[in-house]
Structure 1
Amino acid sequence: MSEGGLQSVERAFEVLELLTGSGRELSLSEITAATGRPAPSVHRLVRTLVALGYVRQEASRRYALAPALIRLGDAAARQFGTWANPLLAELVDQIGESANMAILDGAHALYVAHVAGRHTMRMFTEVGHRVPLHSTGVGKALLTQLPEAEAGRLLRFAGMPRITDQTITDPSDLLQELSGARALGYTLDNGEQEVGVACVAVPVPAAPSLTAISFSAPAPRLTPEVVRKAAAALREGATRLAERFAAERAGGPDL
């Protein structure tokens, strides 16, 4: 790729990441000021992204991310999950329970990978299914990776509806639980999302997107001893995933 072509790609992603991080529509002048690029260059770049369907222009003449990115994001998430399946299978072999991987998707956790457990009675998670953050093990593990203020803002934005009698519905109570979970290194869901189902989850550090992996099982099988073993296995798996992420970033192909 030529130097000019590489710079164009970098600048396109700079605009997309700016629109993603802003959480709102931006004017051309705001995009220009934030990127520090010349206004004519930014205008050409934004118009190209609009033509490709990745950015949309509102009637207010402000710009926002366009739906075409959803297709790319869903495809990337599924490929990301497929990439992690061998490690999840190894975790299932160690513990016997169903293993899952989820990423932060807006105000929800999105399941991107699942390997069923070895028991006759086992938990099944649908890849592509979005679940609340406040009532799931993976959701809580994702929240532990955010600063407390940001986690609180996200919870208030998403809401914390009661799903079962065990669901935590007060942001302060959940933030206190998350503080303890950071010290423990894992989070738990004790029938908060589905009656009779329990989950133990851990964050995956240095992932491309906020990521968590988990075991889910009928609650009676996740005894304190099993939780300790499961959490240890998950932490080891998360470390291996983080090492693989680091290796791929360091050794990416030169196109």
Structure 2
Amino acid sequence: MPTSSASDASTEVAASKPPAASGGVQSLERAFDLLERMADAGGEVGLSELSASSGLPLPTIHRLMRTLVACGYVRQQPNRRYSLGPRLIRLGESASRLLGTWARPYLARLVEETGETANMALLDGDEIVYVAQVPSKHSMRMFTEVGRRVLPHSTGVGKALLAHTPPEEVRALLARTGMPAATEKTITTPEGFLDALEEVRSAGFAVDDNEQEIGVRCLAVSVPNSPTAAAISISGPAGRVTEAAVEKIVPVLQEVAVELSAALASSGPAA
């Protein structure tokens, strides 16, 4: 019987995939796809795992990974598995700053329509990092320094970002970070936090009710289909962010999140 060569397998895989974008470079597309698969797998994988998940033949993957290692974007571990490399950190930091810049017009709209300070935050490892803010025009307003890092359990954005994470992963994260009380209203038990996440899934938005800072309420929603886990929020004095205000603010938050999601998904004008 005739045997299939690696090139035959490569041809079959290429035929089974949708055609590359006009003018695209297939090897680049494959390399970035492998990096994303590595990230989805937790940052470290073996070649056989990549072959199984991507459908690419091992010789092709080996060649691409060798190039990524040479460039510093992937590192080969002593156990011969591959991990994401340190050069990606610089790219990620720059992309995070740009993400905040792209979000600012949408946050400005939130401020105009709600009157309260608007924020954007990302889940970075086990922490929440704020990447953009547009302040309220009120003399009494909330400030969160861009670049500030907080733990997820005491924030509205943290709840929004973790609402659809499997409970066992949430418990593992909380075990790593601990659950220190920022105020007397901070949730300090895994069970309490998981109950709060259930409320977020049911309501479609998250609330920080004096849990990070006494006198401050925050409303947050995740940005759907964001290329990285992101959430937007408004925060203001509890006397202004009342239950009546929530009914008006949440639909605006949800609408802006969808619009921001569409903007982030857009590839922009062709080069």
Give the TM-score band, short-chain normalised.
Answer: 0.7 to 0.9
In structure 1, what is the Cα distance between the partners aligned to 2:55 and 2:200?
Answer: 41
- Deviation per residue, 1:76-97 (Å, 9 max, x gap): 1211111111121121122221
State the identity %: 52
User: Which sits farther off after the overlay, 153-162 or 183-192?
Assistant: 153-162
Match for residue 216 of structure 1 among 216, 229, 235: 235
Match for residue 185 of structure 1 among 204, 215, 222: 204
Is 1:79 matched with 2:106? no
* Unpaired stretches in structure 2, ≥5 consecutive residues: 1-19
* Unpaired stretches in structure 1, ≥5 consecutive residues: none
TM-score by length of 1: 0.87
Match for residue 173 of structure 1 among 188, 192, 196: 192
**1:116 Cα deviation after fit:** 0.7
Q: What amino acid does structure 2 have at the position aligned with 1:54?
A: Y
In structure 1, what is the Cα distance between the partners aligned to 2:192 and 2:248?
Answer: 26
1:241–1:77 Cα change, 3 Å: same
**1:254 Cα deviation after fit:** 4.8
In structure 2, what is the Cα distance between the partners aligned to 1:106 and 1:196?
Answer: 29
Give structure 1 regions of 4+ aligned residues with deviation exceeding 4 angstroms: 1-5, 147-150, 252-255
Indicate if the aligned counterparts of 2:43 and 2:84 stay in contact, CA closer than 8 A: no
Rg comparison, structure with higher value: 2
Number of residue pairs aligned between Structure 1 and Structure 2: 252
Is 1:96 matched with 2:115? yes
In structure 2, what is the Cα distance between the partners aligned to 1:6 and 1:153?
Answer: 40
Is 1:16 matched with 2:35? yes
- What value does the CA root-mean-square deviation take over the aligned residues? 2.5
Tell me the secondary structure at the aligned position of residue 81 of structure 1.
Answer: helix
Indicate if the aligned counterparts of 1:162 and 1:168 stay in contact, CA closer than 8 A: yes
Indicate if the aligned counterparts of 1:199 and 1:216 stay in contact, CA closer than 8 A: yes
Which residue number in structure 2 is paired with residue 137 of structure 1? Answer: 156
- Deviation per residue, 1:17-72 (Å, 9 max, x gap): 22212225333344344433333322221121111111112233322111211111
In structure 2, what is the Cα distance between the partners aligned to 1:30 and 1:85?
Answer: 39
